[in-house]
Amino acid sequence: MTQKTSDKSRRNFLKSFGVTVGAAGVVSSFSLLSAAKAAAKEPGETVNLLTADGQLVQVDKNQLRPTVNEPLDELQQRGREGIAGKSFVMVIDLSKCRNARKCMSACQNHHQLRADQHHINVLQMQDADHTAPYFMPKPCQHCDNPPCTKVCPVDATFKRQDGIVLIDNERCIGCRFCIAACPYSARIFQWTEPKDAEKYKDLTYNIEANVPQKKGTVSKCLFSADRLREDKLPSCVSACPNGVYYFGDRNEDAVTNGTSGETVRFSKLIEENAGYTLMEELGTKPRVYYLPPKNRAFEFNGDLLNEENLH
C-alpha cells in the first residue's frame, strides 16, 4: 500500500515537474529529478535556485515543489480551445476604404511585424478591364473550409470553435505548405530573425497574438484573438479612421463598427448592401464579408500601374 502511494505521488511529481522544467531541456530535468529523488533520502541538502526577479537563493531540497501554473501551457490550451459560444465575423465596407493603411500599421505593431510583413494588406484591385478600381483590405479570411489547416502535417495551424484560424509557432515545422495552399496569400513566413527578436525573447509565447514571432515559422492574421478575449475589437478594426470595418459575432447577429462604435445587425448589413465573400467559387467559405465599393466616400486615389505613387 505504501509502495502504491509513493508510486502515485512520484508519478504526479514527474508529470508536473516535467511540465515545469520542460523548457530547461530533458537533460537538465532528468538530473534535477534524480537530485530530487536523492533528496528524499538525504535531508538537509540545499540547492541553488534563481528567482523570477533574478536573485540566487538557497532552498532545502525537501522543500522543492513543482510550480502549479505554467503560463505557456495555459495560454496554449485556451488558445486552441477558443471562446465558447462565439462565431466571429468581419465585414469590410469597400466603399469607405481610401487606403489610409492605419489597419496595417496597427496590426504590425500588435503582432511585432516589420513594415513589409502583412497580416492585413490593403490591395488595389481592378476586377476586369474597364471596371472601377478600388482598395481592398485583405486579412486572413478565416475560412470555414480552410485549405491551409487541411494540409498542415503537425496540426500547428488549426481552426477553433469560435471560427478563428490560428497558428502555433511553438509547433510549426516551417514546411510552408499552408502558404502554398492559401488562395488568398494571407500567410507570411519569418524568413529571418523577426523584428525586435532580441527585445521580446523572454516573453512567454501567446498563441492568440502569435507573439513573439519566431524565425522559421509561419505567421498570419488571428482576428487579434488575444484582444477578443478582453472584449476588445481587433487592432485593425479599432485603428481604422474611415469606418471600413465591422466586427462581431454571427451567433448574436451583431457587428460593431470599429470607428463609430455603432452596432448593427450582421444579416441586415449584408443583405442591404449585397455583401459577398472573396472567391466564393473556391468553396473556402470565408468569415470575412465584403460590401461592394459603390457610392464611395472617397475617390480612388491609387495608381494601379505605379506602386510608388501611392505613398
Partner 1 sequence: MNDDTKSKETTLSFEKIKQDVLRPMQNHRGLELWIVFLITVISVGAWAYYVQLRDGLGVTGMRDYVSWGLYIANFVFFVAVSLVGMLISSILGLLKVDWIAPISRIAEIIAVAFVAVAGLVIVLDMGRPDRVLNVMIHGRFQSPILWDVTVITTYLVISALLLILPMIPDLAICKKEIKTAPPMLKKLYAILSFGYTNTPEQHKHLHKMIRTLMVLIVPVGLAIHTVTSWLFAATLRNGWDTTIFGPYFVAGAFVAGSAALIIAMYFFRVNYKLQDYITELHFDKMGKLMVAVCLVYLYFNVNEFLVPGYKMKSGDSVHLKELFFGSWAIMFWSSQLLGNILPIILMVNKRFRMPKPIMIISIFVLASAWFKRYVIVIPTMLHPHLPIQNVPDNYQHYFPSSVEITVTVLSFALALLIITVLAKIFPVVPICEIADQKGIDYKIEE
* Interface with partner 1 (CB under 8 A): 104, 116-118, 121-125, 138, 147, 150-156, 171-177, 179-181, 183-185, 187-193, 215-218, 279, 282, 284, 307
Q: Whose Cβ is closer to partner 1: residue 133's or residue 275's?
A: 133
Q: Whose Cβ is closer to partner 1: residue 215's or residue 232's?
A: 215
Cα separation, 176 vs 179, whole angstroms: 5
Cα separation, 45 vs 308, whole angstroms: 69
Of the candidates 216, 211, 215, 189, the residue with the CA atom closest to the CA atom of residue 200: 211
Q: Which amino acid is at 162?
A: D
- Answer for the pair 164, 209: CB distance below 8 angstroms, yes or no: no
Least distance to partner 1 from the beta carbon of 189, Å? 6
Least distance to partner 1 from the beta carbon of 143, Å? 11
User: Dihedrals φ, ψ of 173, to 5°?
Assistant: -95, 0
Q: Whose Cβ is closer to partner 1: residue 252's or residue 307's?
A: 307
Least distance to partner 1 from the beta carbon of 233, Å? 23
Of the candidates 126, 78, 113, 82, the residue with the CA atom closest to the CA atom of residue 236: 113
Q: Whose Cβ is closer to partner 1: residue 187's or residue 227's?
A: 187
- Answer for the pair 53, 42: CB distance below 8 angstroms, yes or no: no
Least distance to partner 1 from the beta carbon of 66, Å? 23
- Answer for the pair 268, 65: CB distance below 8 angstroms, yes or no: no
Least distance to partner 1 from the beta carbon of 148, Å? 10
Beta bridge partner(s), residue 8: none
Q: Whose Cβ is closer to partner 1: residue 210's or residue 257's?
A: 210
Q: Whose Cβ is closer to partner 1: residue 50's or residue 128's?
A: 128
User: Residue 52 has which C-alpha cell?
Assistant: 523570477
Least distance to partner 1 from the beta carbon of 157, Å? 10
Q: Whose Cβ is closer to partner 1: residue 189's or residue 200's?
A: 189
Cα separation, 217 vs 221, whole angstroms: 14
Q: Where are the beta strands (DSSP E) in the chain?
A: 46-50, 56-60, 88-93, 121-125, 134-138, 157-159, 165-167, 188-189, 218-219, 245-249, 254-257, 263-265, 276-277, 288-291
Least distance to partner 1 from the beta carbon of 175, Å? 6
